[in-house]
Each structure stands twice: as structure tokens, then as C-alpha cells.
Amino acid sequence: MSFSTVLSASIVGLKVEPVHVEADVSNGLPAFNMVGYLSSEVKEAAERVRTAIRNSGLDYPAKRTVINLSPANVKKRGAAFDLPIAVAILISLGKIRQREVGGMLVIGELGLDGRVQKVPGVLPILLQAKENGVKKCLLPKENAPEGALVGGVSVIGVETLRDAVEYLVGNRVIKPERRHDMYEEESGEELMPDYADICGQAAVKRATEVAVAGGHNLLLVGPPGSGKTMTARRIPTIFPPMTREESMEITKVYSILGMVDSERPLIRKRPFRNVHHTASKAALVGGGAIPAPGEISLAHEGVLFLDELPEFSKNVLEALRQPLEERKVYVARAHGTYQFPANFMLVGAMNPCPCGCYPDMNRCTCTPGQIQHYLSKLSQPFLDRMDICVEAPKVGYESLAGKGREECSAAIRERVCKARAIQNDRYAGSELLSNAMLGTKEIKRYCALGGKEERMMQKAFSRLGLTARTYHKILKVARTIADLDGAGQIGSVHLQEAIGYRTLDKKYWGR
Amino acid sequence: MEYEYWLAAMSMLPDRKKYLLRSHMKSAKAAYYIEETELGRLSFLNEKDCHTIKQARKDWDVPARYEALCKRGIRLVTVFDGEYPKRLGQLSDKPYALYVKGRLPDEQSCSVAVVGARRCTPYGEKYACDFSRRLAECGVQVISGLARGIDGMGHRGALMGKGKTFAVMGNGVDICYPQEHIGLYEDILACGGGILSELPPGTPPQGYHFPRRNRIISGLSDVVLVMEAKEKSGSLITADFGLEQGRDVYALPGPIDSGLSGGCNRLIAQGAGILLSPELLLEELEISGNLISGNISQKRLETEKVLETKEDMVYSSVCLQPKSVNDLIEETHLSAKEVLGSLAVLEIEGHVRQISKNHYVRS
């Protein structure tokens, strides 16, 4: 038979589009034509496929070959079409029967020697394929464990094109990859950094606990070398354990970028993304001609850490504002809008002044003008999204030598989980997930104050020069502190602690 | 007066020569209309000076310039005016003229210069403010330079004490430098004080103006108080001028390891007066006023009564040296939330102040 078709798939943003690879081999002037809105890496498949077929010991006669990837209106990218193209050609040449690939999805990249190499995006492709009723999938051996995460699809991993052909003609039996429930496995978290490593710094630790418990964004202010990064790195360890759905969701994002481990593909640890301040807008929020997820999506359900916050270019930081509100990011292009998940906790770190010594006037060499200039790099709307601000002090020798017994992450995590459970109950049935997401209307409803507390806040409002925004943030944070305490009503102790975490208005900061 | 302004504003001609020319010709008007031949004959003017004067005559629109000056509410006071401050008149290096917005210091009342570093600690700030306030309450005029830091706090304190305060600028009186002190600049004028400068209006601030204006600050005062100064500091120039001019110099002692008190401690070692309390200073100045002795200790007592134990523990650890929450946690052995909560209470009650994120000082 000269015409054949093989099912494959293409990734567009986070979405998966089924693609039918059609091949037609007929007599005529020898030629190899490929059509179907292809990007250059797909066009290059022609050379790889022809050579790989020949080098696999298969005969490739000089005939006229036409390949079409349909639907023709979806841009196809990546090298994952090599294997389906090769299989389609071999069907057309009569080496494989068409019915062998019925209901089967084929993906994989080919080397010139016929090796089948791993490709990104296997997990999302298979999840979608399962929904579309695909029963079997032929893919690179290295991707097999990742593919097997999706139960219900029989996953055949092949190492070479020759293996694939032999499997398809029935000369060889390849057992489907066993589904390995990695979610239940030990996650190896004991090897993670732990809160017990941080000595002293009680205020920072407590602030991170509150921040995680309520899903608040956190700003750490402290001199260079005060352990801001060290603390931030440990924040994921006090998050509630990841659910299976969360794990899959994150693994999907990582899979598209080809960042999953071949052996243990499921991501079990909360992501911690430390982004350098030279990062571009596209790198942070996602972008590219065909948008790929950025750092904020890689930090989904985890922590996005921006060190040296004022050094980031202003438009990069401003681009974070929308995803921080909506918990997902939309990247719009002429040919469509792409949506990526971005439910992350933002942890920013900065120095109190350019030299880092303020307010120690004996060592600080900055003028008030310089400090103001430094702070002015952060816009007020951006600062308004940081609910909690706390100072990370210089680490003294005692803290380094650290004899004191420090609380470990597990103990803190237990308290965080309790507070999260209270919030889940309270916000059941609504769109809200945590206290940080409360709007003005919800604050009125959920953060009601008693008479004594009301009077205290009134006094604080005028004495401390609070703005309406800082006032609301204090209430939200106080709600979280009360939840940590298991208290139904916000008490004055909760408010007082929340006041300590307020972001200073730039006007009053460093004067 | 129009011609006086013309003569005074001639920045290329040194003050001494302006003085000689004005005395020789008896009036500025006469100096303006002087014949060129006669100008050449004056022994104290060289060729360059003559050229300066001739050029100034050509460029200067006398009535229009003077009108513009008056419109901006700036007065000109030259050494030949009766109004010229007597204290300045004694100086060998006295300015030929002063431009004044608002008033000049009262000759009868005592005046005190409060000077110090622009980059200062909360300690210096607090006492610059406290001393100025107490002195102002007793009718003492506070003279300073409107700079950032100590100068600004000196003025602010005097205004809090409902007294008069005068700022001597290193630029034209119509320019507020530093800009962020515009509120202070206006408050000084609104409360019956004055902005003074020897530089004509419109002169921008220049580094070399400031050491020279310091002689006017000390010259206008009876006593110079140095609140905080490094070993090499502009404030010590003021103190030196003060000593040359025969003024009493007092310095605020500070920790010996604080670089910002180095200059003050050195002054004390060299024999300057030591500032122990506003009351002792007032006694030494023989100003009675309405002395309320033990003002500070009384406040402390009140504080203690109101505060609960936890807050009191935290408060007693907070001092004028900025301390971070972490320091306080370590000192008090309380938990992070207790310390943060207590600090919030203390902040709301106005006992402590947050000067940078989670760094607190007493207020």
C-alpha cells in the first residue's frame, strides 16, 4: 500500500494537538516532500528519517515520497515527529501493516544511526492521548517511565528504529513499561535542606512560617551574607506535602521543557526557582515565538526566589503583577493566547541600602539620595503585593557555631498544614485558596475585628502612618497568624505581630 | 538701596574691596556713577577690579533687579545698615551683605548654633532635637544650616519648642537645599525665623560655599553646640570658627567606638564644654526660663508604669543604637512573635520608632 497514516501529537504552549502523520510513496521522480505548516526542525526530519531507515538495515527505494502532517493549520515544532514519519514511510513501503499502528500514538526523535532519542513533553501528550482514547504508545525508551505515569495507556519504549519495526511486525515482544507509583515512594526529602540548619534568626523563621501558612508573598530585607538565600531555599520544605494532582501538574510543565529525570520523572519536591536578576521578561513569565513556560510556571506550587530585587529591570518585575493576582499567566500572540500555571509564592530579597549596612551609620556609606534611588527601583504597586516584609539579620558567630537546638522543617510544616486546613474549610466552595487571596470585600467578611482590636488598629493607623493598603495587608496576615493559633477571632496579639511584618512605606523608609 | 544690591551682588569683587569702595564713595549710588578716571585712581582696586565694576554696570539692570528681589520677599542688609547683626560686626571676616528671607536673629536674646553631621545616628538626631527644643522653650534662638541630619533636627527641635530658628544657607536664600527640607524651610519662615545667606539669590549650592557659610553660623551665635561629627567634619570647621570668634563651644559626648562621635569626643578632650543635659547647659548659659528639671527621667517613669512586663522587657533592650528584632529576641529570650507584638505596641504608643525594616530605636 502506498498511503499510510500514523497518529502523533504536537505541543502548543501547554496544550496538546493530535497530529496525523500521513505518508504517500509512489512511483515517479525520486523526491522527498514534506508539507503541513512545519517549522525548520520538523523539515530537517527528512534527512534524519531517510538516513536512519537506511542505517537500520532497511531498504529505501528511490521513489517519490510525500509527507503531510495534518491538521495543516497548527504549527508543528520539535524533533518528535521523526519516528512517526519513519513508521509511516515503512508502512507505505509495505514493511509494516497499517493495522499494527491502529489506536497507537508514536513519538520520538531519530539519530542517523537509527537510535530513538528522548523528546520533551511526553507526559502532557500521553495524558491528552488517554483522554482521546489512545490505548498504546510507541515512544523512546528513555521516556518510557515518564509515559508510564499515565495509567491506562500501554507504553512501549524502543531504543532503535529497528526495535520499533520488529515490534510492529511481531518479530519481537517488548513488554509495556510497568506503571510505577512514584507518588507513594519515599521522596528523598530527608536529603533536602532543613530549617534545623538555620541557627537563630527566629524572626525570619517565624515570618516564613506565617507566609507559607497564608500563601503570602515575602520580602526579606537584610545585609549581604545574612542568609537570605539560605532561608529562602528552605521555604519549600515547610509547604504542605504535594498532592498527586499537584505533582502531575508540575511534572507536565517540566516535561514540556525537557527538564524531567528519565529514571524518576515524577516531581515530588516543591520547586524552588532562584532567578538571577539579569533574567528577561520572557524568561520569567514565559514567552518566545511559540510561547514556552517561564520561571514563574516552573515555580508553580513552589517558591520563586528573586534575589537582589531592586537589580531586576523594572518592566520584568511589573510583568509579575498580573500572574501574582491571577495565579496563572497569559501570554498573548497574534496566533493565539497561551495559558500557563503560575500559582507560586514570591520571595524577594534585597539590601536595606546599596552598601547594605544601613541603619548602622558608622559603616553605611550611602547618602539618603542613594537609598531613595535604590528603593525607587521597586514600584509601590509591586511592593503592595508583598504581604510580609521582614529583616534578615547579619549572621553572628554564635549562630554559625550554633549549639542551640533548632526546630526542624517537619514540625513547622505540621503547623502550616493545620492552618491551611482551617483555611480550606473556611473558603470551601469559593474561589479562594488562602488568606493571601482575600480581596477588600472578603477581608470585611473574614477578618472582622472586636471592639478592642478595632481601637488598637485605629490608633496604629494614625500613629504609624498606615495606608489603606497596608491596613488591609495587616488584617490578612493577622488572619493567618490567628489560623496558626487555631483562633477563630483575630485577637490583638495577632494584629500586633502582623504590624511587625508590614512593608514600610517607601516614604518612611530610610528617610 | 537699588545700588547697594548692585554692589553687593558683584560676586567677582571681594567683600573687603566692596567695603573700601563703599566707604570711600559714601554711598553705593556714588560708587555706581563714579567716573572711570577716578575709578582708576583708587589705590585699592587693580585693573581687573575696575573692569569687573565697569562690566557690572553694563550688565546689571539696577531698578529691575531690585524690584525682582523685593518681589521675592528678600531683603538686603549690608554692613553699613544699622540692622546688620552686631555679633557678625565683630568678625574680621564679616560678610559684606546678608540676604534675608524672614527675620534676622534678635540681638537681645541668646542664640545658639546647633551643628553636626549630615549622616548622623538616631542618637545624634534625638539630642539635636531635644537640646534645640529645650533651648527654644527658654527663648533661645537656634541657628543652623538647614542641611540633612543634625542641622535639620536642630531646626525641627526649635520649632517644636515654639522658638525661633534661623538657617544660614550655602546658596541663595531663594533656593531650598536640600530639596526635601522644603517643609522645614517654610515652617522656619512661618514661625518667625529667617533664612539667611551672604550669597546673592539664585546662587546654586557649591561645595566651597559651605565651609565659608559656617563662619556666619558661629558668628551669629553666642554658643556653638556640636552634636555629632566625625574626626574630619565640616561641623568642626564651624567649631574652629567659633573658637576663633571667641564663642563657647560645647560638644555632645558619644560612644568612643562610634566614628560619628569621634570629632565631638576630641573637642571635649581639647577643652570644649560637655553637653550633659539641656538643663545644665541652660544653667551655664544663665538662662532661667521655665525650667522643668528631670524632664527626661519623669518620662521614663511614666513609661514604665503604663507598660506591661513583656513590653517593658523589650523596651529596656531598645536603645538609641538601632537594634534589629533578632538582637532583641536574643537579649530578651522571648519568642519572635512576642517581641514583634511588643514592638508593635511600643510603636503604636510612640515609645519606639522603626527606622529601617525591623530596626528599632527609642523615640
Helix then strand count (H, E) for chain A reads 21, 16
Backbone angles phi, psi at A270, to 5 degrees: -60, 135
Q: Do B179 and B274 have their domain in common?
A: yes
Same domain, B269 and B300: no
> Which CATH number belongs to the domain containing residue B190 in this structure?
3.40.50.450
Distance from CA of B147 to the nearest CA of A (A): 12
Same domain for B150 and B200, yes or no, is yes
Tell the residue number behind the cell numbers 496576615, with chain if given. A477
The verdict on B128 and B156 lying in the same domain is yes
Distance CA A309, CA A277 (A): 7
User: Is B63 contained in some domain?
Assistant: yes
Q: Which residue of A460, A464, A500 is in closest CB contact with B340?
A: A500
- Compute the distance between CA of residue A205 and CA of residue A412 in angstroms, rounded to an integer: 9
In the 8-state DSSP scheme, what is residue B118?
A: S
User: In angstroms, how far is the first alpha carbon of chain B from the final one?
Assistant: 49
CB contact under 8 A, A495 and B344: yes
| H/E element, A202 | helix A202-214
Determine how many CB atoms are found less than 10 A away from the CB of residue B207.
Answer: 8
CA distances from A56 to A110, A111, A328 (A): 11, 11, 46
Nearest 5°: CA angle at B107, between B101 and B112?
80
Residues B253 and B352 in one domain: no
Same domain (yes/no): B116, B250? yes
Residue A362: its chain B contacts at CB < 8 A? 121, 258-260
Q: Please indicate if any CB of chain A lies within 8 Å of the CB of B329.
A: yes
Do B333 and B224 lie in one domain? The reply is no
Residues of A in Cβ contact (< 8 Å) with B327:
393
Which of A161-165, A389-393, B294-298, B325-329 has the least mean pLDDT? B294-298
Is B323 domain-assigned? yes
CA A80 remoteness from chain centre: 23
Structure confidence at residue A402 (pLDDT)? 57
For residues B3 and B147, membership in a common domain is answered with: no
Q: Which residues contact A457 (CB under 8 A, 6 or more apart)?
A: A449, A471, A474, A495
- Rounded Cα distance between B358 and A42, Å, is 57
Q: Does B256 touch chain A (CB under 8 A)?
A: no
- Residue B341 touches partner A, C-beta closer than 8 Å: yes
DSSP 8-state assignment for residue A309? G
Among residues B256, B284, B312, the one where a domain terminates is B284
- Chain B contact probe: residue of A477, A496, A505, A507 with most B CBs at under 10 A: A496
Q: Closest CB to B348: pick one of A221, A463, A497.
A: A463
Please tell me the total count of domains within chain B: 3
More confident residue, B276 or A469: B276
The tens digit of pLDDT for each residue in A128-153 reads: 999 999 999 999 999 999 999 888 89
For residue A369, count other CB atoms closer than 10 A to its CB: 12
- Give the pLDDT of residue A382: 87
pLDDT of residue B292: 44
Paired sense of beta strands B141-144 and B111-115, if any: parallel
Reading the block at residue A346, the C-alpha cell is 514570591
> Which residues of chain A neighbour B148 with C-beta distances below 8 Å?
368
Query: With an 8 Å Cβ cutoff, are B337 and A493 in contact?
Result: yes
Of the partner residues B148, B342, B358, the one whose CB lies closest to the CB of residue A203: B358
- Residue A164: pLDDT band (50, 70, 90) is very high
Interface of A with B (CB under 8 A): 200-207, 221, 352, 358-362, 364, 367-368, 389-391, 393, 456, 459-460, 463-464, 481, 493, 495-497, 499-501, 504, 509-511
Q: What residues in A contact B357, CB-CB < 8 Å?
A: 221, 352, 389-391, 504, 509
How is residue A268 written as a grid cell?
515530588
pLDDT value for B301: 45
Written as one letter, the residue type at A296 is: I
Rounded CA-CA distance A141/A150 in Å is 15
Whether B160 maps to a domain, the answer reads yes
Name the nearest CA neighbour of B142 among B197, B216, B221: B221
Q: Which structural domain range is residue B307 located in?
A: 295-362
Q: How far apart are CA B258 and CA A218, in angstroms?
A: 34
Residue in the block written with cell 573658637? B243
CB of B339 within 8 Å of any CB in chain A?
yes
Strand order across the B248-251 sheet: B74-78, B97-102, B194-197, B165-168, B141-144, B111-115, B223-226, B248-251, B273-274
- Smallest CA–CA distance, residue B282 to chain A, in Å, is 30
d(CA A150, CA A396) in angstroms, rounded, equals: 50
Q: Average pLDDT, stretch B33-41?
A: 85
Cell numbers at A91, concatenated:
508502512
Nearest to B120 among A358, A361, A456 (CB): A361
> From the list B258, B335, B354, which residue is nearest A202 (CB)?
B335
Classified as helix, coil or strand, B337 is helix
- B150 and B3 co-located in one domain: no
Amino acid at A249: E
With contacts defined as CB-CB under 8 Å, which chain A residues touch B337? 206, 481, 493, 497
End-of-domain residue from the set B284, B304, B334: B284
Distance between CA atoms of residues A11 and A124, nearest Å: 8
Shared domain for B163 and B253, answered yes or no, is: yes
Is B347 within 8 Å of A463 when comparing Cβ atoms? yes
How far off is chain A from B333, nearest CA to CA, in Å?
11
The closest alpha carbon to A249, from A299, A307, A295, A306, belongs to A299
CA distance A253 to A302: 13
Measured in whole angstroms, how far is the alpha carbon of residue A14 from the centre of its chain? 12
Q: Which residue of A391, A463, A501 is in closest CB contact with B359?
A: A391
The per-residue pLDDT for range A103-133, each reduced to its tens digit, is: 899 999 999 999 999 999 999 999 999 999 9
Note the Cα B146 to chain centre separation in Å: 6
Q: What values do phi and psi take at A38, rounded to 5?
A: -105, 145
B341 interaction partners in chain A (CB closer than 8 Å): 493, 496-497, 500
Domains along the sequence of chain A with CATH: 3-169 (3.30.230.10), 189-508 (3.40.50.300)
Q: What is the pLDDT of residues B278-325, one digit of tens each?
A: 988 988 887 755 444 444 444 444 555 556 688 888 888 888 888 888
Q: Does B306 touch chain A (CB under 8 A)?
A: no
CA pair distance A488, A294, nearest whole angstrom:
39
User: What is the nearest CA distance from A387 to chain B, expressed in angstroms?
Assistant: 14
Query: What pLDDT is recorded for position A353?
Result: 87
Amino acid, res. B129: C
Place of cell 566625625: B230
Q: Are A177 and A144 in contact (CB under 8 A)?
A: yes
pLDDT in tens, A345-387: 999 999 988 888 887 877 888 887 888 888 888 888 888 889 9
Does ipTM top 0.95? no
B76 within domain boundaries: no
Residue B363 at interface with chain A, using a CB cutoff of 8 Å: no
- How many other β-carbons are positioned within 10 Å of the β-carbon of residue A394? 18
Which three three-digit cell numbers place residue B55? 562690566
Q: What angle do CA A412, A416, A422 make, to 5 degrees?
A: 150
Shared domain for B66 and B192, answered yes or no, is no
Contact A463 B350 (CB under 8 A): yes
Q: Is residue B28 part of a domain?
A: yes
DSSP letters spanning A406-448: PPPHHHHHHHHHHHHHHHHHHTTTSS--SGGG--HHHHHHHS-
Cβ atoms of A212 and A204 closer than 8 Å:
no
Terminal-to-terminal C-alpha distance of chain A: 82
Q: pTM for this structure? A: 0.83
How big is the CA angle at B58 (ends B53 and B59), to the nearest 5 degrees? 95
Rounded to whole angstroms, the Cα distance separating B313 from B299 reads 17
Mean per-residue pLDDT, B133-158:
93
In a domain, B356, yes or no: yes
As a dihedral over the C-alpha atoms of residue A436, residue A439, residue A443, residue A446, rounded to 10 degrees, the angle is: -70
- On whether both B136 and B248 belong to a single domain, the answer is yes
Residue B157 lies in a domain: yes
Report d(CA B177, CA B207) in Å as an integer.
Answer: 12
Chain B partners of A493 at a C-beta cutoff of 8 Å?
337, 341
Q: What is the structure's pLDDT at B291?
A: 45
Torsion of CA B40, B41, B46, B48, to 10 degrees: -10
pLDDT in tens, B178-219: 888 999 999 999 999 999 999 999 999 999 999 999 999 999
pLDDT confidence of residue B232: 86
Q: What distance in Å separates residue A211's CA from the closest CA in chain B? A: 14
pLDDT tens for each residue of A415-449: 999 999 999 999 998 888 899 999 889 999 999 99
Judged on CB neighbours under 10 Å (0-12, 13-18, 19+), B349 is middle
3-state secondary structure string across A335-385? CEEEEEECCCEEEEEECCCCCCCCCCCCCCCCCHHHHHHHHCCCCHHHHCC
**Percent of chain B residues topping a pLDDT of 70:** 94
Place of cell 532543613: A194
Q: What confidence tens digit (pLDDT) does each residue in B238-284 have?
A: 999 999 998 999 999 999 988 889 999 999 999 999 999 998 898 88
- Say whether residue B265 is in contact with chain A using an 8 A CB cutoff: no
Classified as helix, coil or strand, A308 is coil
pLDDT attached to residue A406? 80
Decide if B89 is inside a domain. no
CB-neighbour burial class of residue B190 (10 A; exposed 0-12, middle 13-18, buried 19+): exposed
Residues from chain B that touch A207, judged by Cβ atoms under 8 A, are 336
* CA–CA separation, B328 and B322 (whole Å): 11
Map B258-326 to HEC letters. CHHHHHHHHHHHCCCEECCCHHHHHHHCCCCCCCCCCHHHHHHHHHHHHCCHHHHHHHHHCCCCCEEHH
Higher pLDDT, A257 or A509: A257
The pLDDT value recorded for residue A50 is 93
A195 in Cβ contact with A409 (< 8 Å): yes
Nearest-10 crossing angle of helices A82-92, A45-55 = 60
Do B356 and A358 count as a contact with CB atoms less than 8 A apart? yes
Taking the CA of residue B259 and the nearest CA in chain A, the distance in Å comes to 6
